[in-house]
Structures are given as C-alpha cells and as structure tokens.
Structure 1
Amino acid sequence: MDVSWVTPSILAELRRPREYPAVSLVLPVHRALPEKAQDPIRLRNLVAQARKQADDDPEITHSRRADLQKQLDSAVEELEWEREQTSGEGLVLHVAPGEHHTWVLPQPVTEQVVFGTTFLTRNLVAAANMLEPYWALVLAEKPTRLWDGSPLWLHEVTEYGFPLSAQGPEGEAPLKGGVAVRPSEPRAAYRTERVQRFIRAVDDALGQALERRRRPVFLVGMQAHLRRMRELTRHRDALADPETDTEAAGYEKASAAALSEALRTAWERAHAKRVRTALDALDAARSEKRYAGSLEEAWSLVNQGRGRHLVVDESYHVAARVDGERVNVVTGDEGEIRPDARGTVVQDAVDELVERQLEHGGEVTFVPSGAVDGTGLALSLRY
C-alpha cells in the first residue's frame, strides 16, 4: 500500500504489541535497470533469511512458524512489482501470524530483517515526515488552478470554485466571487483593480481549501501575480516561504507530470528549511540545557514524556538491551543477539524510541545522515 494512506491510527495499530514474532522486512527498490531486475531476487533472499531465523528460534512454536511462513508467501505473492518500483524507493513488509501488510515508501531505506513484539515503523514515520502534503496554487487569469500535491502524487482540485478564471475586458460579465469588469474606466486603473479583485476571489477560494485541510501553499506563476498574491492574501501564514515560489508563465496549462517537476524543487527547498529549523532548535535547546544527545540519554526522558522534538539521522539504527526505562546499546558480538519473546533485546532501539516519542505527543523529524553532529539522534526537552 502507498504510504500516503498511513494515518496516526494506522501507525498506532502497527505499533501495538503482538505475540512474538512480529517480523519487519525492509528492502530498497529501484526504478532503473539493472538493479530493478534484481529487486525480486533480493526480496526472495530476505524472505529466506526471515524463514531461517524463524526456524532457528526455539521461542517460536511450530504452528506460529507455519502461519508466519504462510503470511510471508501471501505478502510476496500480492506484490505488483511494476507498480511498486515506479512509485517508490523502499518496500516494507510487516508479517506476523494471522496478518501481513505491505508499504511502498518514497525514500531510500536500509535493507534489514527485524524480529520483535511490534512492527518496525520508523520508515513509515520518516515517510510521513517527508510526505507532508501541500497545496499548489498556479496563478493565472485563464485560469488559476489548485493542486493537491506531495512527492508521491499531484492531483488537480476541482472544488472550492477552482479552476477560477478572470473574464476578458469586453462586457460586464462578473467573475466568480463577484468580480465584475468595467471597460469604461481608464485602462491602467481598470487593469490594476481588476487584477486585485481577481486575486481576492482566488484568495477566498483558497481559504475554503485551507479551512478543509490546513497545508502549506506553494505559489506558481508570473512575478506580478506572485507579488500581488502575497500582498493581498488573508492567508499569509499558510503560504510557503517566497524561496519556494516558482516564477514562470504557462503552467496554468501544464499537465500534472510537467508541473510536478517544478514543484519538486519547491518541496525540496521547503524540506531543507524544515531540516534547518529542526537543527537550529536543537542548538537553542542545547544552550538552554534542555537537550539530550544520545540514545541512552533520550530514552528515559522520552518515557517520562519530557521530549519536545526528537531529531533522528535517517540511517541510524542500533540494537539495544532494554530494562524498564533504561537502555544499553549492544555492541561487538552482542550485536548478533536476536530479540526474544520478552523483548529484552530490541534490534532497532531507535524505532522503539520514535514510537514512544509519538505516543507521548512529541514531534519527530528525520534528517540526512550525519546532520545530528554524528551522534545519530538528539532530543529537545519540554522542561
């Protein structure tokens, strides 16, 4: 399933403790040859690894092992490789006796097999973090169009009065939203007022969309329209930074494919700013002594509900031994220790930390590898 379907309630259900084992298989997928042709083989190898681990684990009963293998087979059989490889860069299979779930992610992932008493969800959280949807407003007088977008989809919206067109200078035909033309006025004054009224009509329609779903708004259009929209809008706080504006004409007639290329740049700039903001907030928290800079430090603080914002290196994952509110990273040969049914050894303790942060209502942001001072993660505190 496309990760855009993930909701907080679905994440909560996936994080629900299960009878051991809950197995998570994570696989990078590719859009181009020759790697693309090898993805099904890599998945078969990953499934074989999971089967062997289940066969060798004395804590898994024969009946649960058989059910687990049946669910693994079903999950693989239901994959539509052509679709999965063209719509994402990562694949996650959640498999347990009696259930299986498949997720396609937009970001690269690290190949792994994880056994535990909950499913691995950090990749889904990271994807949701990346996939914050947006509105894209393509400003033009014939017409202005509204798009519902994210890195995974772009769909034109035909609600709230969109697409919205200004009328020509001939006649007295009113615009949607009550905008009327008056050709008897001096041309320059008429043109200025006409554009202003049209932008206000667009802004009213945009307000309806924002009332339904509050999202950042990316602007696309000629410089004059972009400037006037920013001057006149009543929804300035919803507009993305001016650095995300796409200054160009002609996109009012563009296809979703053509427009998505332009909006990818806008999204990347917005994403980079979100990362910078998260890292700057960590610096401020450090200076105010509201900061924890390692898994061991953050663990008990998150469990106490004191974590405000957890910032995680997207590639950081470690095994750890958990004892109540204490955690010790497993190193050396111990790194090969498998989790047991009691959950005392967790193969990905970072995933567990992310889950607990979300359960306590804290914020989580994933950032590029190495961005968190090489420590893997950091936490700003509420108090």
Structure 2
Amino acid sequence: MTQPTRPTPELLADLRKPRVYPAVSVTLPTNRIWPQSQQDDIRLRNLLADVNKRLADDPDVTRTHAVAVSQQLAAVADELDPERFLDGLVVYASADEHHTFMLSTSVPERIVINTTYLTRNLVASAARERPYLALVLSNGEVRLWRGLGDQVTEVRGDSGFPVVTSGAEREVAPSAGGDQWVLQDFRNMLGEADKKLTPLLQGENSLPVILVGLRRHIAAFREVSRHGKSVAAELEVGGLLTTTPAEMSAQLAAPRRAMAEAETAGAMRDLDASRSGKRYAAGVQEAWQAAGEGRISLLVVEEGLRVTARPETVEGAERAKLTLLDAGEGAGAEGVEEDIVDSLVESVLSADGKVVFVPDETLKEAEGVAAALRY
C-alpha cells in the first residue's frame, strides 16, 4: 500500500521488526515532472525485475517465498502512479506484505535483501519535513489542512471539519458593532473548531498551527481558543475556502519559512547552551560516536550535508567509528554508505533524541553537523 511521506511511530516501529528472510528494500531517486517521472517508472520496474532474479538465484530463498515476494513486488508496480512521484521512493516487500513511501527528499538507488527493512532513508526524510496544520477561518466556515513540507491535504470526515455556522448562508461579516446573534453564532463556530483541534494538539505528536484568515477572524479565534501556544504563524488573507492544494501550498510558503526560521533559531540557542555547559559535539565523527553511545539529545544538521563513509568496528564495538570517504569513492563497496547522515539521524531518533535540519552554512564551523549532549 502507498503510504504518506511521514510514517506514524507505530508503523515505523513495526517496519523495524525482523522479518522472515527475504525482506526486500528498494530505494530510488525520482522526479516530480513528466516525462522524467515516466522514466523513473521504467527504472523501478527494472529494479524489481533485478530483485526477482536475485531471489530466484538465492539458495537461501525457497521457491514459495520467492514467488510470494515477487507477487508483492508486482502489486507495487501496479499500484504506483508515476504522475504522483516526488523526489524519492522507498519500497518494502516480504512474503505477506508490501509498503511504498513517496518522499520529498532524494534517496540513492539501492536494493537490499535481508531479514530487516532498510529504514534509515525513510526516517531521515521524515525528520527533514515539518508537519503542521493550517486552520482557514471565514465568516461562516472553518476548514483544516494538514501539511508536510510543501504537500498539503484538506482534513475532512471523522475529524469534524469543516465546521460550519448555522447561519453560514448569510453574507453578513461579524463585527463588534454588528448583529449580536450573528456575532455569537460566529464565535460558537470558532469555539467548536478549537474543540475539534484538541486531539491533534495533544501528546508528543502535537503539531504547530498556522492561522489563515482576515485580521478580524484571526483575532476572534485567538479570543476563544484554548490552544494559543500551538499557533506558530499567521497568514492574513481571505477567499481560500475553495482553493486547490497547489494554491494553498503556495499561500503557506511564507508561514512555513517563518516557522523554519524560528526552529533554526531555537536549535542554535540550544547548541550555544550545550557548548557553554561542555555538552557539545561538532562534526560528523564526534556526532557519530556520541549517537552510538545514546548521548545526543539534539542533533542539528545542515539541509545539504551529504557524507560518504564506512562504519568501522573498534575493539569489538561494531560501527563505532567512521572512515570518511570522498563523494563517489567506494560506491557500491561492502559497508560503504553513500550518505551516513541518514544513519546518524536514525540512530539519534531511535534513542529518543530530536533532529533539526537547518539551512546550509548555518553550522560552517562544525562542518555541517553539531549536537547537544545529554551528558
């Protein structure tokens, strides 16, 4: 089944569990634009054919398992629509399941057959995206959109959105000096929308909210809302009730930048505090060692950082140190990872650390990556 770009914690935990051999992982860089996306579809089918050949030639794979996995891969090829491709594709398949994820970040072309899925690219891509909610306010209706990077989808159905006033058909704009019945009806609608937001703003997965509407709409919502601390940005604009996802994404570009800038500033303050407290690591080598020891509370990485490296065993400790390589050096060689940053990110998140991606050149003195340590 095709999944959203950001796996839920429950799904990710399940994907990390061991499978009966063979568990197949396929990653492929893709394009959003036709005709390149059509060529990606051909490349994918060629990769899946290569997987089938490897399974057929593998003495550790029974014919029954090879056929079952082949059927799952065939389902992947049938389900995927190249017109919906983003920047990267991750495919997982075993004898009784398959999952596909379309990512907003590029991934290397690779096939891995093991007893576990290769999840590091998926995890790192999800960490790069900033999920958020956009609450669109108007005189008689409140709509909710969920965003992940520049991809936005309207939230409907069981969520209770859109929320509509009983007087939605009227064109009278609520105002302090206007009809009190209209004003109260408007405030009731905002209160109901705020109530329906509550489940999305609780616990570890609480999302930042962008308020969208005219100034009077935003001011009125802030008066009735119990979730003021969750509001991360505002966009003063009207007329977006019937907008398309592409149009909404374009409108939200400025608030997204504002949220990213605020997150970057907060991460840099945390790094400064950790440096003062001598709980700081700089550079990929120091960060890798600290991550392996579970000591990183916050990892900050430049968006464009790519590091080719081979993890080495030191005194019996596996993957304890990195041998850094030039880009392209040792490509395809045993143990060489084209982007060790993805593995670093997954290691930090697995130990309940936080990861923040920041613009290039932000961490120039730390060679693109720095960490605040727990101890």
Moved more, 194-203 or 320-329: 194-203
Q: 2:76 aligns with which of 75, 78, 95?
A: 78
User: Could you tell me which residue of structure 2 aligns to residue 104 of structure 1?
Assistant: 101
- Among all aligned residue pairs of Structure 1 and Structure 2, give the percentage whose two residues are the same amino acid: 31
Residue 246 (structure 1) shift = 2.2
Q: Give the AA of the match of 1:318.
A: T
Q: Closer, same or farther in 2 for the Cα pair 1:73/1:346, shift >3 Å?
A: farther
Q: 2:178 aligns with which of 186, 191, 209?
A: 191
Residue 163 of structure 2 aligns to a residue whose secondary structure is coil
Q: With structure 2 as the length reference, what TM-score do the two structures score? A: 0.75
Residue 308 (structure 1) shift = 0.4
Residue 298 of structure 1 aligns to a residue whose secondary structure is helix
Aligned partners of 2:309 and 2:246: how far apart in 1? 42
Q: Closer, same or farther in 2 for the Cα pair 1:123/1:3, shift >3 Å?
A: farther
Residue 309 of structure 1 aligns to a residue whose secondary structure is strand
User: Could you tell me which residue of structure 2 aligns to residue 306 of structure 1?
Assistant: 295
Q: Alpha-carbon deviations, 1:4-36, whole Å to 9, x = none?
A: 562212222333356787553322222323312
Equivalences for residues 37-56 of structure 1 within 5 A: 37-44=38-45, 46=47
CA contact 1:116–1:346 (8 Å) conserved in 2: no
Q: Alpha-carbon deviations, 1:26-50, whole Å to 9, x = none?
A: 2222232331232123335545776
Residue 253 (structure 1) shift = 4.3
Residue 370 of structure 2 aligns to a residue whose secondary structure is strand
Q: Alpha-carbon deviations, 1:275-305, whole Å to 9, x = none?
A: 4433443344334322212333223422333
Q: Give the AA of the match of 1:113.
A: R
Q: 1:217 aligns with which of 209, 228, 245?
A: 209
Q: Give the AA of the match of 2:107.
A: T
CA contact 1:28–1:109 (8 Å) conserved in 2: yes
Q: Closer, same or farther in 2 for the Cα pair 1:112/1:87, shift >3 Å?
A: closer
User: Could you tell me which residue of structure 2 aligns to residue 294 of structure 1?
Assistant: 283
Aligned partners of 1:139 and 1:16: how far apart in 2? 43
Residue 239 (structure 1) shift = 1.0
Aligned partners of 1:378 and 1:10: how far apart in 2? 29
Residue 308 of structure 1 aligns to a residue whose secondary structure is strand
Residue 247 (structure 1) shift = 1.7
User: Could you tell me which residue of structure 1 aligns to residue 325 of structure 2?
Assistant: 331
Aligned partners of 1:132 and 1:307: how far apart in 2? 20
User: Could you tell me which residue of structure 2 aligns to residue 353 of structure 1?
Assistant: 344
Q: How many residues align?
A: 354
| Structure 1 residue 380 corresponds to structure 2 residue 369 | no
Q: Closer, same or farther in 2 for the Cα pair 1:319/1:115, shift >3 Å?
A: farther
Residue 100 of structure 2 aligns to a residue whose secondary structure is strand
User: Could you tell me which residue of structure 2 aligns to residue 201 of structure 1?
Assistant: 188
Q: Closer, same or farther in 2 for the Cα pair 1:346/1:148, shift >3 Å?
A: closer
Q: Which has the higher strand share?
A: 2
CA contact 2:187–2:224 (8 Å) conserved in 1: yes
Q: Which has the larger radius of gyration?
A: 1
Residue 237 (structure 1) shift = 0.2
Q: 1:238 aligns with which of 226, 230, 251?
A: 230
Q: Alpha-carbon deviations, 1:83-125, whole Å to 9, x = none?
A: 34325321112356x3664433341313231547543323322
Aligned partners of 2:46 and 2:112: how far apart in 1? 16
Residue 210 of structure 2 aligns to a residue whose secondary structure is strand
Aligned partners of 1:329 and 1:114: how far apart in 2? 23
Alignment root-mean-square deviation, CA: 4.0
Aligned partners of 1:351 and 1:228: how far apart in 2? 43
Aligned partners of 2:332 and 2:123: how far apart in 1? 26
Q: Alpha-carbon deviations, 1:263-283, whole Å to 9, x = none?
A: 344334423433443344334
Q: Closer, same or farther in 2 for the Cα pair 1:72/1:375, shift >3 Å?
A: farther
